[in-house]
Amino acid sequence: MILRNATLPDGTRHDIELKDGRVAAFLPPSNAEPGVLALPPLVDGHIHLDKTLLGLPWVPNQAAGNRVADRIEAERQVRAARTVPESETGASLVRQVLASGTLHMRSHVDIDNQLGLKNLHEILKVRERFRDLVTIQIVAFPQSGILRSPGTAELLDAAIAEGADLLGGLDPVGIDGDLDGHLDAIFAIVRRRGVGVDIHLHDGGEGGIAQIRAIAERTRAAGLQGKVAVSHAFALGSVPIEVAERTADLLAETGVAIMSHGPGGAAIPPLKMLREHGVRVFGGSDNIRDAWSPFGNGDMLERAMMIGYRANFRHDEELALAFDMVTAAAASVLGIAPYGIAVGGPADLVVVEAGSLAEVVAGRPRRKLVIKGGRIVAKDGVLVP
Ligand SMILES: [Zn+2]
């Protein structure tokens, strides 16, 4: 297959030859007209495949309040009423994101002493079913806390043994009320199993910063530089900038990455400052049509737009940073390699009509083609059967 007259993100234009699942060659462009823009595959650095209610009749969202603890309780009720298995709704979501050009994702999967490993087993089925099309990295996620849900630490350990790739965590202070107790449990398993970590941290202010610093120090002590992420990290956006800058230096030094989904109601971390200080920042959908959020569709270009909107990005360079967060930066945090459009690399690309990355983020153009391993898997936003 030859993709004619395609501009790459770096502005160069070629006829791109795809052969045997690889990019075989960049040939001179067939004509002088501006053609399509070829993007590397989109990457969702934070999704919850087991939580989504996508494809089901609308489930009213009726959490009593907006605290994390209220949402956990509301979700228990939604979960109890669910009749369709998570593998089915999760598969619907994977099909939808695939059609929008996402070929790699990191999904957190709920684990607590009521669910046990049920959701993990359901999402392992989804991973197996779509294994030729999309990378699904699984985080064993203690949605109900670890200490306040006795038995969860053992379940998290078992989850890694059964195929989860990373260990999650949740507001050590805000939910478990014990910073060291929560982190002791996580890092004991991590050391035993040799996996990475991705911790949800909603706790804001100086208290949240103290938790981020503790996670970074433990990352250094465990020799896990480059394998740890903090998701949300609202605290970085809710303290004086000097405090956030000092924390950024520690994050850069210990290789701890920060995930943001462009939160609607909380402080967004100062993404440009973090990047300037050498911190890897990446993007994810987070909740999509579930007990936590009625919104979302898994389209990572739309997500990049929301991140840019919340971060008050205006310049092309800033929009390119938002694009990077849902492509190369997320791929780097997930350890997807090789990644990107290069001769000899995988023939994975997303083709759109746009003049620049900034225009892609602002306009979220229709995905003309999604190509995986040289094969067209979606056309004009619809999966090819
Ligand atoms: Zn999340």
Predicted confidence (pLDDT) per residue in 37-69, tens digit: 999 999 999 999 999 999 999 988 877 788 888
Distance from the CA of 26 to the center of ligand 1, in angstroms?
39
Query: Residue 281 has what pLDDT?
Result: 98
Distance from the CA of 46 to the center of ligand 1, in angstroms?
6
Alpha-carbon gap, residue 247 to 243, rounded angstroms: 6
Q: pTM of the prediction?
A: 0.97
Tell me what the pLDDT averaged over the chain comes to: 96
Distance from the CA of 359 to the center of ligand 1, in angstroms?
28
Residue 158 tokens, joined: 């078992």
Mean pLDDT confidence for 67-76: 87
Distance from the CA of 351 to the center of ligand 1, in angstroms?
29
- 281: burial class by Cβ within 10 Å (0-12, 13-18, 19+)? buried
Query: Residue 62 has what pLDDT?
Result: 76
Predicted confidence (pLDDT) per residue in 116-128, tens digit: 999 999 999 999 9
Mean pLDDT confidence for 198-219: 98
Mean pLDDT confidence for 170-185: 98
Distance from the CA of 192 to the center of ligand 1, in angstroms?
25
pLDDT greater than 80 at residue 34: no
Alpha-carbon gap, residue 65 to 74, rounded angstroms: 9
Distance from the CA of 11 to the center of ligand 1, in angstroms?
35
Structural contact between residues 5 and 32, judged by C-beta atoms closer than 8 angstroms: no
Distance from the CA of 138 to the center of ligand 1, in angstroms?
12
Residues 52-90: b if buried by 16+ CB within 10 A, e if exposed: bbbeeeeeebebeeeebbebbebbbebbeeeeeebbebb
Q: Find the distance separating the first CA and the last CA of the chain, reported in whole Å.
A: 19
Instruction: Identify each DSSP E strand in the chain by its residue range.
Output: 2-7, 13-19, 22-27, 36-39, 42-47, 102-110, 135-141, 166-170, 196-201, 228-232, 256-260, 281-283, 349-352, 369-372, 375-379, 382-383
Distance from the CA of 242 to the center of ligand 1, in angstroms?
27
Which distant-in-sequence residues (6+ apart) come within 8 Å of 52 by Cβ? 89, 90, 92, 93, 287, 288, 289, 290
Distance from the CA of 325 to the center of ligand 1, in angstroms?
16
> ω into residue 338 within 30 of 0, thus cis?
yes
Reference 307, options 284, 330, 275, 273; nearest CA is: 284
pLDDT bucket at 385, cuts 50 / 70 / 90: confident
Q: What percent of the chain has pLDDT over 90?
A: 92
Alpha-carbon gap, residue 139 to 159, rounded angstroms: 9
DSSP readout, 256-298? EEEEE---SSSPPP-HHHHHHTT--EEE--B--SSSS-S----
Mean pLDDT confidence for 346-354: 98
Distance from the CA of 89 to the center of ligand 1, in angstroms?
17
Distance from the CA of 285 to the center of ligand 1, in angstroms?
8
Distance from the CA of 372 to the center of ligand 1, in angstroms?
27
Structural contact between residues 54 and 126, judged by C-beta atoms closer than 8 angstroms: no
Distance from the CA of 154 to the center of ligand 1, in angstroms?
21
